[in-house]
Structure 1
């Protein structure tokens, strides 16, 4: 059933749409934009945001602020990110955009069939996630170190002090962290995690409990004093390897894997959208390409018919009592464009060091035009991957589980620099392997469990040293004429990240929403499996109108964690996601 098919859309298969990796902590309906004239920081937890603002007030750069925020997030948001995971960083120094890749790598001992059972079928996701087998070599500290060496203004040592102080003196368990602990049935099986996160009676630590992490304080102090080498060599690295290899579900991580990890500086993927230029992460992230494809297809539709211009389809009052909601025409067009982008993502996008990825062909305007021609008044159901110019590969589509747990960091500094950084341990609480006060990722489950189909290899199959494909989509937007930075955008949310970033970009640029309203607007989109609407945030009328257009609609939890900082007439305005506990602070 391809994009040009007249067949009915396939029935929704709920098994193909896993639940959101992180639960919502409630919707904060009272949030308004934060304004500043000089600098701004935004993160998923107020303590992390405060650490970023502290660095900016000292004259620090955007990367200085991001490092301080990441270190605090390792403590206060361990289910989502931390030094045991990876990150993608998009950086603007006032003159050029750079992409820093701190994605985890597969150990040398990894094999293509490591997540297949004796029957040759993929093992259950939880069996793959929990334990040492799923752990990739963490990359976030090497990427932060690389970016700091180029753009840091403050000493590396100073950036870790807020986190070290909080870890030593303790921080109150937030409602969100309590909820995540209570919802996780695997914590009790990890002695280190149970001791740290649970009461002696085995319950989640109550909200407000003062939680101290002296082990993490010692780890961060070593990193602050000795640099990232303190993590990748010596006792911390040895402890990671020992934990992974001695687990009941052991992995193959070795000291050579850890010490040999290298972050990569890559060329960002940038493309035009109307009067703006949008820049994102290149492979192994699929986020940058998929966002550019969605926007490019939407612009091609507008060029074909002015009546299809999204700017003429602003959000409308909802009869559900939830304020504004997206219009049916906008949801239809964006979801259809996303189907096409996700179809290409599943077939073509992977680590470009292992698979040729034709970014140019996938983001070519002529290709967008051919893809846009597949969109009609009715939903196409399931889209097929296209055939961009210059691609001649016999590949099978990736049918990996659509999961991940992440966090988003954004900052702009006094010098005109800006960062959008998405950071992750993959599923909630990663592999559930804890050592030295931090949790190790389970990023190897971001590879395709199935290495080939019908004799054709899957681009995102597991291979030693390879980086798993990601949906993380840190994004920077510029005015094409002046070259001036317009906004820094990003979100967690697994394979839904692309949907969340698309909504935010269109909300800001086409619908002229302020950053907070762009984030708060109901989430929606399609991952090429039905059309998703945020449960409790849209009206029955919108659902019915989409169904009338042939959409198979799923009302699901869509827990984005979007952070946006946008230029305004007085300096900067920022918003944080009301679905989590994030904040923005500026001066």
Structure 2
């Protein structure tokens, strides 16, 4: 089997360049992935930020072991001294359909990104923490050009992102950011520099913890100092399924990505598989957007680190003078489950994964943005590389379909014979006019190369 070359895939050129820089400086896959995630927190704040949460999947090549870490957001309220007020409803239009989201202080859950980055680095990093954070300090201090694809996402998410203090960031001088404009957050360079100096604890027990609690409570939220001080990164069980003789390993997400792969038929030849794939992907009514981004990194030793993070749509509660927008996870209806006890970790569709080939070597390290479409995008990409024999760029860029209720939503250019098979099987089909960020944002490194999703200005770079 072909060895995976060291490289990175990410959803912004600056993020990918950051990871490659760290690999060149002798960093591990974990060092590079953490540096890239922190770069995302300056360059991709339309999707993620230090006030969000995420998940990491790490493959240790020498041991052949896969570890999944959960640093997603937790339900606040363990202090028990504050009831959250009402949230602020905002209408976000996506695919021509209005969707109601809730933001404001009451939507803020306990963030996990700083702690998660710290834990990944502690376990598998090699370079000093300050060196890993340094590129993000530079990006945050100077600002970063907005890719056109990110500006398109902003068009949909602006009612939430450009609310309150976000207006100055995302609609400076009353004009929404466009492709090529500079994204800049006043104070974020200072915050990143302090993170490099003091470590992640600055957000949980240090001076920024107090700033965060005061900001959220002033906006009607219930986040308290005990919520932050008690936050921990969790190691979670690893699900496993077989696809084309390969093992797919990842966390157990809300959409049950690994279970979906396990449910695929043995015969995955085209065009016959379309109906079986649609059936496996049937997704009851989930259409939410979700601001999410992913980084996939493989180092020269064959280790892989895949990290997916999100901010939701952003709560519109900013840490004063620090340029950090906090998450809106408690306002994401599909993530609010029956058991929302204070301190409990919230659920998520995010699913960073690795694929191991029949010889026990790494075949793919991949993850995706896209809320409920994460599973769809990952399954289609793995079918492209492992079954259809495509290179990574082609597998990620080709048209996809996604199932909502009993309708197949499809991008232009999807094979007509497969759409015919779906129609014959009784599936209503909704044609979209172009490739769209709605259908996810995969970034992957593997035996088939490294690539990012063109739907989100993705970039793949090899060392």
Which position in structure 1 is the counterpart of 2:260? 294
- Output one character per residue of 1:487-525: Cα deviation in whole Å (capped at 9) or x when no partner: 111111101111111111111111111111111121113
Mark the CA change 1:151 to 1:109 in structure 2 (over 3 Å): closer, same or farther: closer
Determine the structure 2 residue equivalent to 1:437: 323
Q: Deviations over 1:405-433 (max 9, x none)?
A: 21010000112210121111123xx2122
**Contact 1:110–1:463, Cα closer than 8 Å, also in 2:** no
Kindly state the Cα deviation for residue 400 of structure 1 after the two structures are TM-superposed: 7.2
Q: Is the 8 A contact 1:273 1:296 kept in 2?
A: yes
Which structure has the highest strand share of the two?
2
Provide Cα deviations, 1:523-561, integer angstroms capped at 9, x if missing partner. 11324x123333333366654542221112233443321
* Alignment of 1:564 onto 2:444: yes
Match of 2:376 among 455, 479, 499: 499
Matched, 1:474 2:348: no
In the other structure, the counterpart of 2:51 is 84
Task: Report the alpha carbon displacement of residue 272 of structure 1 after superposing the two structures with TM.
Answer: 2.7
Please, which moves more after superposition, 55-64 or 438-447?
438-447
* TM-score with structure 2 setting the length: 0.88
Contact persistence 1:44–1:580 (CA under 8 A): yes
- Name the structure 2 match of 1:360: none
**Structure 1 residue 257 displacement after superposition:** 0.8
SS in 1 for 2:380: helix
User: Where does residue 343 of structure 2 map in the other structure?
Assistant: 465
Asked if residue 107 in structure 1 is aligned to residue 76 in structure 2, the reply is yes
| Structure 2 gap segments, 5+ residues each | 93-98
The residue correspondences of 1:57-206 to structure 2 (distance < 5 A) are 57-94=24-61, 95=63, 96-108=65-77, 129-186=102-159, 190-200=163-173, 202-206=174-178
Secondary structure of residue in 2 paired with 1:91: strand
Q: CA deviation at 1:128?
A: 5.1
Deviations 1:113-160 (A, max 9, x none): 98999xxxx998977522111111011221221121111011111111
The answer to whether the Cα contact below 8 Å between 2:247 and 2:356 also exists between their aligned partners in 1 is: yes
Contact 1:86–1:424 (CA under 8 A) maintained in structure 2: yes
Q: CA RMSD in A?
A: 2.9
Residues 210 and 474 of structure 1, relative CA distance in 2, 3 Å threshold = closer
SS across alignment from 1:419: strand
Using a 3 Å threshold, how does the CA distance of structure 1 residues 36 and 173 change in structure 2: closer, same or farther?
A: farther
Asked if 1:265 is matched to 2:235, the reply is yes
CA distance in 2: counterparts of 1:212 and 1:110, whole angstroms: 34
Q: Hey, what does 1:330 align to over in structure 2?
A: 273
SS in 2 for 1:80: coil
Provide, for residues 353-389 of structure 1, a one-character-per-residue CA deviation record: whole Å limited to 9, x for no partner. xxxxxxxxxxxxxxxxxxxxxxxxxxxxxxxxxxxxx
Change (3 A) 1:173 1:512: closer
Q: Work out the CA distance in 2 between the residues paired with 1:520 and 1:214.
A: 35
Q: CA deviation at 1:338?
A: 2.2
Match of 1:231 among 192, 197, 203: 203
Specify the alignment match of 1:585 in structure 2: 461
Q: Kindly tell me the number of residue pairs found equivalent between the two proteins.
A: 445
Which whole-Å CA distance do the structure 1 matches of 2:46 and 2:104 have between them? 15
Verify the 8 A CA contact 2:355 2:362 in the aligned structure 1. Answer: yes
The 1:115–1:297 alpha-carbon spacing in structure 2 relative to 1, beyond 3 Å, is farther
Give the Cα–Cα distance (whole angstroms) in 1 for the partners of residues 161 and 16 of structure 2: 30
- 3-state DSSP of counterpart to 1:441: coil
Q: Is residue 40–residue 53 contact of structure 1 (8 Å, CA) maintained in 2? A: yes
Question: Structure 1 residue 51 and structure 2 residue 38: aligned?
Answer: no
Cα distance in 1 for residues equivalent to 2:363 and 2:439: 25
Cα 1:538–1:437, aligned 2, differ >3 Å: closer, same or farther?
A: same
Cα–Cα, structure 1 residues 123 and 170, in superposed 2: closer, same or farther, change >3 Å?
closer
Q: Unaligned stretches of 5+ in structure 1?
A: 1-34, 303-308, 314-326, 344-398, 451-458
Deviation at 1:280?
0.6
User: Residues 312 and 327 of structure 2 are in contact (CA less than 8 Å); yes or no, is this contact kept in structure 1?
Assistant: yes
In structure 2, how many angstroms separate the alpha carbons of the residues matched to 1:259 and 1:404? 27
Alignment of 1:365-514 (within 5 A): 402-427=288-313, 430-435=314-319, 436-446=322-332, 460-480=338-358, 482-514=359-391
